[in-house]
Amino acid sequence: MDGLTHTYDDCTGNWKLVGSGDGRTILCDRCDARFSATPENRLAAIDENYAGIYLRRLTAEGMTLPDRK
């Protein structure tokens, strides 16, 4: 398996680092997908979370634009 995958293709959850020591995992706060907290998975989670933040900001900005007809 390459990278992190959500349980559902349309999941918009955020990845969170949970646990301590060797039992640390990366968990999606919506679909409950879990992966070991390897350095690669941690970087992938950070990248995906940042992308989600930007998409939410762009969506919010787009919702405030006036309709052009």
Tell me which residue has tokens 């919702």.
63
With a cut of 50, which residues of the chain have pLDDT below it?
1
pLDDT at 5: 93
pLDDT at 60: 84
User: Concatenated DSSP letters for 3-30?
Assistant: S---SSTT----EEEES-GGG-EEEETT
pLDDT at 6: 94
Decide if 35 contacts 3 (C-beta within 8 A): no
pLDDT at 31: 96
pLDDT at 1: 47
